[in-house]
């Protein structure tokens, strides 16, 4: 598609995280995504950019929206997409990961989209395969396409990222979404706050360049964006919150707590939501203030842009092995 946007090089073979990307590279990905937002609203959503290419979605952990949107993204660009789900509980860690990678490499995929419950596993796999690897979430480490789709949503609603005050609230400790968003927002010149009980914050979180709050009233004061996170109980080893009711009382987003934010503050959540746990249902569904549905829409466009830039890089270096 000729968008009139000049195509700048993206000097990375893989997309493993936000850390290490420059502001220009992030802007490039967001600008490319913009054109796909329009394409995805047309009746004919398909083009041939990835014709002949194979994308494998390799998911060692459950996913609905991320896997579906990568599948749609690959198909709308004209590529062949296959989905492989592997139950993490049934695999022998490490060895099986590499075995799977070697088996798949023999089938010459151009792009591997990988989600894995262990932080660092996707990077390990990227070192072993020929094609491009996109991290679709590794443990509590990174989830770069989520941060990019969040940034695209914010940029479209607020016109910029620079100078905005963003509060990321809830289970920061287990959240790869939080880590990727903190990195991206800092690179792009936003101011990031985290709001959470002490038990749900990693040690030395301040070193990531955030302001820390332990109460919603202080943390949401005058913010432009309220980003809520799911309480990721499947990653809990032990007890982190006294009870769900108490958690909602102190940290669940409802209109009373939202009143501290700017009147036009945007509400976001990566999904899946636990209604009544980290977010009140009326707030989540508020058509004026909540961008949660738009985040899902932006997800497809962002993943199309990522597939585009990474496969362009592969063109001149088809694997010979």
Q: How far is the CB of 271 from ligand NCD (least distance, A)?
A: 5
Asked if residue 146 binds ligand NCD (CB under 6 A), the reply is yes
Half-sphere exposure at residue 61, Cβ-oriented, CA atoms within 13 angstroms: 20
Residue 17 is a binding residue for ligand NCD (CB under 6 A): no
CA torsion sign for 72, 75, 79, 85 is: positive
At closest approach, how far in Å is the CB of 230 from ligand NCD?
3
- Cβ proximity to ligand NCD, 131 vs 170, nearer residue: 170
Please, what is the end-to-end C-alpha distance for the chain in angstroms? 32
Give the other-Cβ count within 10 Å of 264's Cβ: 10
Question: Closest distance between ligand NCD and the C-beta of residue 66, in Å?
Answer: 4
Residue number, 177 or 260, with CB nearest to ligand NCD: 177
Radius of gyration of the chain (CA): 19
Nearest approach in angstroms of CB 234 to ligand NCD is 9
Which three-class secondary structure state does DSSP give residue 6? coil
Query: What are 271's two structure tokens?
Result: 């999904």
Enumerate residues 206-245 that contact ligand NCD by CB under 6 A.
230, 232
- Binding residue for ligand NCD, selected from 14, 143, 155, 303, defined by CB under 6 A: 143
Residue 186: how many CA atoms within 13 Å on its side-chain side?
20
Closer to ligand NCD at the Cβ: 111 or 260? 111
Which of 74, 144, 219, 270 contacts ligand NCD by CB under 6 A?
Answer: 270
* Shortest reach from residue 78's CB to ligand NCD, in Å: 25
Element (H, E) at 87: none
* H or E, element range at 195: strand 191-195
Of these, 39, 66, 100, 180, which contacts ligand NCD (CB under 6 A)?
A: 66
Cβ at position 253, least distance to ligand NCD in Å: 15
DSSP sequence for 251-313? HSB-HHHHTTS-TTPEEE--S---BTTTB-HHHHT-TTTB-HHHHHHHHHHHHHHHHHHHHHH
In this structure, the dihedral spanned by the alpha carbons of residues 234, 235, 238 and 243, taken in order and rounded to 10 degrees, is -60
Instruction: Select 112 or 177, whichever has its Cβ closest to ligand NCD.
Output: 177
- CB closer to ligand NCD out of 55 and 260: 55
**Number of residues lying near ligand NCD (CB under 6 A):** 11
Q: Is 275 a binder of ligand NCD (CB under 6 A)?
A: no
Give the CB-nearest residue to ligand NCD.
230
Please, what is the angle between helix 292-315 and helix 144-158, to 10°?
Answer: 120
CB of 6 to ligand NCD, least distance (A): 31
Q: Which of 18, 177, 210, 260 binds ligand NCD (CB under 6 A)?
A: 177
Which of 32, 141, 155, 176 is close enough to bind ligand NCD by CB under 6 A? 176
Sequential DSSP letters for 21-60: --HHHHHHHHHHHHHHHHHTTSS-----TTTT-EEEEEES
Q: In a 3-state reduction of DSSP, which class is residue 157?
A: helix
CB of 145 to ligand NCD, least distance (A): 8
Residues contributing to the site for ligand NCD (CB under 6 A): 65-66, 137, 143, 146, 176-177, 230, 232, 270-271
């Amino acid at each position: 598609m000729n968008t009139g946007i000049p195509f700048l090089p993206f000097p990375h073979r893989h997309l493993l995280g936000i850390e290490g990307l420059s502001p220009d590279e992030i802007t490039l990905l967001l600008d490319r995504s913009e054109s796909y937002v329009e394409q995805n609203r047309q009746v004919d959503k398909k083009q041939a950019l990835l014709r002949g290419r194979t994308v494998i979605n390799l998911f060692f952990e459950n996913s609905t929206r991320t896997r579906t949107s990568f599948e749609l993204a690959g198909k709308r660009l004209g590529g062949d997409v296959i989905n492989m789900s592997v139950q993490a509980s049934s695999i022998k860690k490490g060895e099986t990961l590499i075995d799977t990678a070697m088996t798949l490499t023999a089938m010459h995929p151009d792009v591997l989209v990988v989600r894995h419950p262990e932080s660092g596993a996707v990077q390990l796999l990227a070192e072993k395969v020929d094609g491009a690897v996109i991290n679709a979430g590794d443990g509590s480490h990174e989830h770069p396409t989520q941060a990019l789709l969040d940034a695209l949503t914010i940029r479209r609603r607020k016109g910029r990222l620079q100078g905005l005050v963003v509060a990321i609230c809830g289970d920061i400790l287990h959240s790869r979404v939080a880590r990727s968003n903190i990195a991206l927002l800092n690179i792009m010149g936003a101011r990031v706050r985290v709001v959470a009980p002490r038990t749900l914050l990693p040690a030395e979180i301040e070193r990531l360049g955030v302001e820390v709050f332990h109460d919603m009233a202080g943390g949401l004061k005058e913010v432009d964006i309220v980003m809520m996170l799911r309480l990721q109980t499947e990653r809990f080893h032990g007890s982190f919150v006294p009870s769900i009711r108490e958690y909602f009382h102190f940290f669940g987003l409802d209109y009373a707590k939202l009143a501290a934010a700017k009147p036009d503050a945007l509400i976001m959540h990566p999904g899946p939501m636990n209604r009544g746990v980290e977010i009140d249902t009326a707030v989540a569904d508020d058509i004026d203030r909540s961008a949660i549905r738009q985040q899902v829409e932006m997800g497809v466009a962002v993943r199309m842009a990522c597939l585009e830039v990474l496969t362009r890089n592969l063109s001149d270096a088809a694997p010979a092995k």
